[in-house]
Amino acid sequence: MQSEFACHIGLRGKLFCRACWVKGVDGLDSAAPDPEPGGGDDGSSLGGSDRSDVSEDSTGSKKGKKRKKVKETLGQMIQRVKNFVTIGRLRNKVETTNKLKSYFTEASTVDTKTKVQDQRTESGIKDTYQLSFLEKMFQSYKGKRGRTAKQAALDAYVAQLPANTTSPVWRIKGLDPHQDTPVEILHVVLLGFVKYFWRDLVQLQLKNKDDKKELLITRLSSLDVSGLGISPLAGRTLVKYSGSLTGRDFRAIAQVAPFVLYDLVPLECFETWQALSKLIPLIWQPEIIDIDSHIALITKEIDSFLLHAARWTNRWFNKPKFHIILHLPAHIRRFGPAILFATEAFESFNAIIPLAFAQGNRIRHLLSGGLFMLSRTADSAETSPSKFSKDADAWGSIGLGPRHLVDAPNTVTSYLGLREKQTPVSGVCTGDKLSNRPVERTQCGQHIAEYADMPGMFRTCKDLTLKNGDVCVPGSFVIVRDPHRIGETFVGRVEEIIQRIGSVQMYASKPDGILIQQVTLPPDRVRYGMPSVVLSGQRQVCQTEDLLCTVNVQHNCMDNACAPTSTRPVFQERIRTNETRPQVAHVKNPTDLILNTAQMRDAKYLQKFRIATPGLDCDSVIHQSAVNELAALKRATATAEGQSNRNRGPAPMEPTTTTTTRVEPRALTRLRDAP
């Protein structure tokens, strides 16, 4: 859709990017220069993704010809990859409109259909709105004989055309479709990178390795997902149906992948997964405090991800989405957090629904009580030409009949996003039904001096709802606002939620205090590209408003060799059965924990504790990647040739001394002997 707005030929073209002039491998002209501003018809840039050399608008003479793939040299491959992982010269509105005008000018001369198609292929600019007029122009002189008669018929048809034959989008003031169509993070990241990597893992790397697939299933099903805001993972579904997963599934996979893949894939693949998991929370961060530092950080993480992917294999750069992600920082600076222009919320408006529901935003405005200007009479139109009025009587809203459509939750309210959600009450806690006890029998009384001599009885609670809606329980890890240092936060573990019997807080179902055990994050203990969590002896009592969010913490199974030695029962229809499934047991060193900074929820609080990404040298990584790729191609060629020779059977025996005379055809003899 965005390529359609920008009058771009699409991802299948050799000029696959709608925002810049980066170019895929072109077997016809691999050394074509970058187009100059204001351009020529042959504008293109070097390198890019290894897409099809023939675009969607290939000429008829090219159809049916299977072009032999050009073998790249080491230098050519290095240059192509470098161009792919950098932003090319940006497209602009003026250049594109001039190009579209040149199509029309060229089509105004007879017998130029092939030439226009070639220009469209070379530039990657394709206006489907204009194309309908061009096709009719080409058909206007069909059946005419003689160039003069053809031109006369064409001129007669052109005279009937409207003044503007290009897409109306180019006449919207202030809009540049090349730069104002932001990256779709759902399709580029979740349904792009994560889907590519997950299918590669399950369908290729673990192909015919049932034991490793079962281990992956067990690890996924055994993961602790507290703090992630998702349901426990169905490992067997994620692996067995890897080709039929949705964006929600890939969203969960991206947050936990490093903790289940560490010994199932090569090191280069694992590091690429780590880089992707560090990038995704930055992309889905809904609130940006400092735009400049955020843009610098996300740009660095995108570059790191692409270089890790190149070090794994540069074959990933056959996929245009690995280049399109480079334009995301500019779109975030232009439009704000990427989650604001994500397409998850609009997936229900695909295919048939837009045709029947094209006025979705307008209907949502009306049914939610929005106002609209009442129809004006001819007299009022003359005296008040403005389309806006400050007169309250000039505005109205829908009547009671239409309002009844959204009085109760139904399909309409679901599609329009009008269904009210019950928001949890912040600070509410639930008692654990244990008996009341004096303060010395509570952890607060044992560890906090101020509580040691408090009179009265106390009780503990089993859960607490935070301001952001998270529910924490004793044992949960949370990010806490430091009450002693303004603006500072720390990670801690909830040890106890306490209420004093008869207090005002108890009658309001709120806690009198939350005992927090602080943790440290040693910078020298980094695993999975994330900080280690070390419980300290420091404890303090905090209030509900100091707890910002819950965070996800995982066990360091990589160093402790955790195995599926335990079992868990299987529930069917909420009934426990006699069946069991294997489960990973964290027997060795259970307090060796990792803070999961791949968590997407509450990234604005959690990213403060992320581990800085070490820099990679772009030139050396790309050079080594190209060397590895060419070596792999040589090995594959040698293997294929060896297999072909084996299929041919044994070589014929040596001929005997009997010789035969080859009789050449008379015509061949004359041709050979000719001077």
**pLDDT recorded at residue 401:** 83
Across residues 224-250, what is the average pLDDT? 93
Does residue 78 surpass a pLDDT of 50?
yes
Q: How confident is the model at residue 387 (pLDDT cuts 50, 70, 90)?
A: low
- CA distance to 40, 180, 181, 432, per residue, from 341 (Å): 34, 11, 10, 43
Across residues 264-270, what is the average pLDDT? 95
Phi then psi for 575, rounded to 5 degrees? -115, 130
Coil vs helix vs strand at 551:
strand
Across residues 484-500, what is the average pLDDT? 92
Name the pairing type of β-strands 457-465 and 437-438: antiparallel
Q: How confident is the model at residue 58 (pLDDT cuts 50, 70, 90)?
A: very low
pLDDT digits (tens, 9 = 90+) for 153-165: 999 999 999 989 9
Coil vs helix vs strand at 256:
helix
Q: How confident is the model at residue 102 (pLDDT cuts 50, 70, 90)?
A: very high
Round to whole Å and give the CA distance between 145 and 139. 13
Question: What's this model's pTM, rounded to 2 decimal places?
Answer: 0.79
Does residue 402 surpass a pLDDT of 80?
yes
Does residue 321 surpass a pLDDT of 80?
yes
Q: How confident is the model at residue 661 (pLDDT cuts 50, 70, 90)?
A: very low
Question: Chain-centre distance of CA 487, in angstroms?
Answer: 32
pLDDT digits (tens, 9 = 90+) for 444-482: 999 988 888 888 899 999 999 998 889 999 999 999 998
**pLDDT recorded at residue 368:** 80
Coil vs helix vs strand at 93:
helix
3-class secondary structure for 317-330?
HHCCHHHHHHHHHH
Residue holding tokens 């003479």?
A: 61
Q: How is the chain split into domains, by residue range?
A: 2-171, 185-336, 352-416, 429-556+592-609
Does residue 43 surpass a pLDDT of 80?
no
Which DSSP state fits 670?
H
Residue holding tokens 């903790």?
A: 259
Does residue 284 surpass a pLDDT of 60?
yes
**pLDDT recorded at residue 524:** 80
Round to whole Å and give the CA distance between 317 and 326. 13
Does residue 44 surpass a pLDDT of 80?
no
Across residues 353-368, what is the average pLDDT? 65
**pLDDT recorded at residue 256:** 96
429-556+592-609 folds as SH3 type barrels. (2.30.30)
Does residue 288 surpass a pLDDT of 50?
yes
